[in-house]
């Protein structure tokens, strides 16, 4: 199928051309989904398979998913110059081997090149076409000194090792060595290509609601889903930062590369934040923290007494986490850059400006809470000492990336160029 006239697809990998290499292993079944995800994010994918890989999945399947003819032989006569190892490697923005078996890792480490996939890895312009490795093998093979020695050699030679998962393996054993899931590999590839304006920074993010107990089965919370804070944590990792995410009670998966600390109440969140803030350089308070909590939570469930009147509750004010961190010595000295969030229901600009001044933070991000809680999109208002800037409604993913770029600029970190695509290099 001719892919030259296909419509352009927007996504985090738009304009990227990936050579997806499959070596022999049962994890080849995951490569089909990985191929689909790469294309969904805008990449073009050229599949190259070893003879062993074709024992686990057919070239027909991968051709149907990639919309390109699959290559498997170094003697493929379809190439006018009969040099697929040269042509395929020169066209790529990256080569991703997924799965990479123990045998194939050994071949790469030794520089062997008697079949197409290892040959094009060896023939690639090493300073222009990165090689990413997603190992997949039995737990004993993974732990074997020879395998670890080969993988260390590949890293020393410039390859990027994406790591492995742990769990039940096809052989029936349990342990390390599983290939990462397709969505995890996609996230790793997106992060690899992203600019790194926050390299060297340690970003602390809070996300989600808090839950303030009334009794063992009831409590006070809010409608925050945590999606915005989690998107910020992911964007910060992709921007090169070390990220700690303090999350209230939400059911969201942890972004790749993020250290997550789960908490429940505002007091729990305060303790976790103060512990982590001593090492952070950026604090982004995206959580919707309860302002009040019941003064005396009941030890047992409060029962109806037949009077028709609810129990009388007394409340105490929770410590303001953002204000506490912003007033710390590290924040006041400029060693910790603080970003607050304001979820309002009306008068967004005025309320956000007042909150920024009251809490003494350099940047305050405002949004209309009822219009965004639980949604996948949002609209933000950035307020600082110079004024306000609107970020129009978009996906929380896109807004998180824009916010991280704004923070990086305010930290006076000049973002390096992202890895140029082959098309950009050619231009």
- 264 vs 247: CA distance, rounded Å: 8
- 289 vs 188: CA distance, rounded Å: 31
The answer to whether 42 and 10 are in contact (CB under 8 A) is yes
- Binding positions for CTP: 291, 301, 341, 355, 359
First-last CA distance in the chain: 26
Q: Are strands 165-168 and 174-178 parallel, antiparallel or unpaired?
A: antiparallel
The answer to whether 359 and 320 are in contact (CB under 8 A) is yes
For the chain, the three-class secondary structure string (H helix, E strand, C coil) is CCCCCCCCCCCCCCCCEEEEEECCCCCHHHHHHHHHHHHHCCCEEEEEECCCHHHCCCHHHHHHHHCCCCECCCCCCCCCCCCHHHHHHHHCCEEEEEEECHHHHHHHHHCCCCCHHHHHHHHCCCCCCCEEEEECCCHHHHHCHHHHHHHHHHHHCCCEECCCEEEECCCCCEEEEECCCHHHHHHHHHHHHCCCCCCCCEEEEEECECCEEEECCEEECCCCCCHHHHHHHHHHHHCCCEEEEEECCCCCCCCCCCEEEECCCHHHHHHHHHHHHCCCCEEEECCECCCEEECCCCCCCCCCCCCCCCCCCCEEECCCHHHHHHCCHHHHHCCCEEEEEEEECCCHHHHHHHHHHHHCCCEEEEEEHHHCCCCCEEEEEEEECCEEEEEEEEEHHHHHHHHHHHHHHHCCCCCCCCCCCHHHHHC
User: Which residues are designated catalytic?
Assistant: 171
Q: Which residues contact 333 (CB under 8 A, 6 or more apart)?
A: none
């Amino acid at each position: 199928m001719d892919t030259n006239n296909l419509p352009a697809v927007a996504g985090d990998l738009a304009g990227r051309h990936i050579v997806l290499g499959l070596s022999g292993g049962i994890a080849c079944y995951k490569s089909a989904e990985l191929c689909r995800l790469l294309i969904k994010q805008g990449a073009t994918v050229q599949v190259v398979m070893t003879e062993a890989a074709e024992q686990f999945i057919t070239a027909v399947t991968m051709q149907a998913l990639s919309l390109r003819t699959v290559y498997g032989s170094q003697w493929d006569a379809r190439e006018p110059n009969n040099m697929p190892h040269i042509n395929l490697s020169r066209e790529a923005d990256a080569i991703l081997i997924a799965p990479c078996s123990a045998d194939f890792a050994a071949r790469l480490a030794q520089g062997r090149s008697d079949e197409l996939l290892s040959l094009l890895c060896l023939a690639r312009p090493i300073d222009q076409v990165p090689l990413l490795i997603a190992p997949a093998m039995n737990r004993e093979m993974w732990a074997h000194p020879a395998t670890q020695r080969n993988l260390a050699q590949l890293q020393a030679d410039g390859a990027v090792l994406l790591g492995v998962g742990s769990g039940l393996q096809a052989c029936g054993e349990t342990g390390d060595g599983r290939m990462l899931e397709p969505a995890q590999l996609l996230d790793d590839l997106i992060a690899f290509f992203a600019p790194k304006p926050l390299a060297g920074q340690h970003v602390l993010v809070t996300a989600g609601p808090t839950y303030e107990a009334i009794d063992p089965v009831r409590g006070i919370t809010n409608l925050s889903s945590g999606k915005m804070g989690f998107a910020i944590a992911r964007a910060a990792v992709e921007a090169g930062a070390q990220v700690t995410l303090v999350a209230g009670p939400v059911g969201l998966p942890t972004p790749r590369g993020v250290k997550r600390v789960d908490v429940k109440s505002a007091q729990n969140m305060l303790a976790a934040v103060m512990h982590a803030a001593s090492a952070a350089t950026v604090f982004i308070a995206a959580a919707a923290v309860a302002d009040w909590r019941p003064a005396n939570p009941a030890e047992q469930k409060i029962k109806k007494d037949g009077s028709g009147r609810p129990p009388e509750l007394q409340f105490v004010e929770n410590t303001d986490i953002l204000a506490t961190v912003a007033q710390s010595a590290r924040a006041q000295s400029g060693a910790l850059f603080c970003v607050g969030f304001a979820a309002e229901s009306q008068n967004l600009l005025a309320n956000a400006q007042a909150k920024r001044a009251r809490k003494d933070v350099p940047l305050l991000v405002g949004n209309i809470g009822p219009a965004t809680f639980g949604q996948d999109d949002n609209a933000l208002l950035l307020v600082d000492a110079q004024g306000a800037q609107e970020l129009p409604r978009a996906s929380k993913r896109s807004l998180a990336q824009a916010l991280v770029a704004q923070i990086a600029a305010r930290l006076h970190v000049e973002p390096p160029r992202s890895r140029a695509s082959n098309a950009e290099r050619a231009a």
